[in-house]
């Protein structure tokens, strides 16, 4: 299998790298220090068509594919991980609508999401439940042609800044995960409010806020797919978001390695640069190998998805390995910097903090590893019968097809 980039992807990589180093990297420290949402940078990324790379042209995207997207995301993440994080919920929601939405939902939302005119957020976590989907209690009560939503969600990335929210809520009295459905909620919907913004250690430029729903009326037309399918949908969409989060890990690790190489060439000790010490060479060599291995795992997973055969094992393997790799690489890079690595004068402490997030986000590595173990043991998985494509098991429209004229 050939994982070399196409000529188009190499051009994309060079152009996004130039943009990221010129427009994104100079703002990264300030974004982190002030916990500042990079709104202007996101608008400039939208003009580069970076948000529609996995959306087919009939719905306003470029259709370049997931591999091209992860190539671009790595470059943005190498400049600023917070800025790159905006891609994770965006892709999550885009792919959810593309795979499970009606044609009406696709026509209504995908062009604006792909063009960057509409930012997305996705929310599952509640104060008493996170990965335990069965314990979620935010309730959407059916009432005529609407659902009336009451409850709250926590740690929603982009909350307060996003225009469209994909929310997992309980739509029936069916106990456990089977009673959960996915709803699309626009920011201007009455009854949707925002609570506390978390003061985080990591990824400080992307807000994580509480979302409060108080008699929030949502049209039934905003149900994604069918009632009771919320958890299988979230798992499938999480698979789509995993390569993007993994690419952010590679970007962070690469930036840390490049900074460590530069520092090792300049810093002297015992009448020589520290790059002459084997201990430093070993750490740099390990970084290079692990970064390359992670990138290859990501590209393998992305390639499978582009061929219409998304592989959970490949995606979850790439995510776990990339998260662990980024944490180790940034830790070793900080070690090379020594005491200076802990100071705000250098970006290493930010790289180290941001890398730590990806052993937890989007799901904890323990969950991914459990899933991998269950696959190896051939134990049943809750989404084992989930069709990998559209709402009826059909593939989303290809770029060569015209947009649908009638809602499903």
Report pLDDT digits (tens) over 290-340: 999 999 999 999 999 888 888 888 999 999 999 999 999 999 999 999 999
From the list 287, 303, 281, the residue with the least C-alpha distance to 249 is: 287
H or E, element range at 365 = helix 365-376
**Structure tokens belonging to residue 122:** 């996705």
Per-residue pLDDT, 53: 95
Between CA 171 and CA 363 the distance in angstroms is 23
pLDDT for 127: 86
Going by CATH, does the domain composed of 231-376 fall within 3.40.50.300? no
Q: Which residue, chain included where needed, has tokens 């979230």? A: 234
**Would you kindly state where each structural domain of the chain is located, as residue ranges?**
7-119, 121-228, 231-376
- Residue 362: predicted pLDDT: 85
Tokens representing 48? 């580069």
The pLDDT score that the predictor gives to residue 381 is 63
Positions of the chain with pLDDT under 70: 381-408
- For the domain covering 121-228, report its CATH number: 2.40.110.10
Q: How far apart are CA 82 and CA 94, in angstroms?
A: 20
Burial 67-91 (b: 16+ CB within 10 A, else e): bbbbbbbbbbbbbbbbbbbbbbbbb
Tokens for 363?
A: 């799901």
For the 7-119 domain, the top CATH level (class) is mainly alpha
């Amino acid at each position: 299998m050939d994982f070399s980039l196409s000529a188009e992807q190499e051009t994309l990589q060079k152009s996004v790298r130039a943009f990221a180093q010129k427009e994104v990297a100079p703002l990264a420290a300030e974004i982190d220090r002030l916990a500042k949402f990079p709104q202007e940078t996101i608008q400039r990324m939208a003009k580069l068509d970076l948000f529609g790379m996995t959306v087919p042209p009939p719905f306003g995207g470029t259709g370049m594919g997931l591999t091209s997207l992860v190539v671009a995301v790595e470059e943005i993440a190498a400049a600023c991980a917070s800025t790159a994080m905006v891609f994770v919920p965006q892709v999550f929601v885009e792919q959810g609508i593309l795979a499970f939405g009606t044609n009406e939902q696709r026509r209504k939302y995908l062009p604006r999401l792909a063009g960057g005119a509409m930012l997305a957020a996705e929310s599952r976590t509640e104060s008493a439940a996170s990965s335990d989907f069965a314990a979620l209690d935010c309730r959407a009560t059916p009432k005529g042609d609407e659902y009336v939503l009451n409850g709250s969600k926590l740690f929603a990335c982009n909350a307060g800044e996003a225009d469209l929210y994909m929310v997992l809520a309980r739509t029936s009295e069916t106990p456990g995960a089977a009673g959960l459905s996915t709803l699309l909620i626009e920011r201007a919907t009455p009854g949707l409010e925002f609570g506390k913004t978390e003061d985080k250690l990591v990824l400080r430029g992307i807000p994580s806020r509480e979302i409060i729903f108080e008699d929030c009326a949502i049209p039934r037309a905003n149900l994604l797919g069918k009632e009771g399918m919320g958890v299988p949908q979230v798992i499938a969409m999480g698979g789509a978001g995993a390569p993007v989060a993994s690419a952010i890990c590679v970007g962070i690790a690469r930036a840390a390695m490049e900074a460590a190489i530069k520092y090792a060439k300049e810093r002297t000790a015992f009448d020589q640069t520290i790059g002459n010490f084997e201990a430093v060479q070993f750490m740099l060599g390990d970084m290079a190998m692990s970064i390359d291995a992670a990138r290859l795992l990501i590209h393998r997973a992305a390639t499978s998805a582009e061929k219409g055969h998304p592989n959970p094992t490949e995606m979850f393997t790439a995510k776990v390995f990339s998260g662990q790799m980024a944490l180790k690489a940034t830790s070793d890079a900080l070690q090379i910097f020594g005491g200076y690595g802990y100071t705000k004068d250098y970006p290493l402490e930010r790289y180290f903090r941001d890398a730590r997030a990806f052993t937890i986000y989007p799901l904890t590595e323990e969950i991914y590893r459990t899933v991998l173990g269950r696959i190896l043991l051939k134990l049943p998985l809750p989404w084992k019968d989930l069709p990998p494509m559209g709402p009826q098991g059909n593939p989303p429209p290809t770029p060569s097809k015209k947009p649908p004229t009638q809602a499903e």
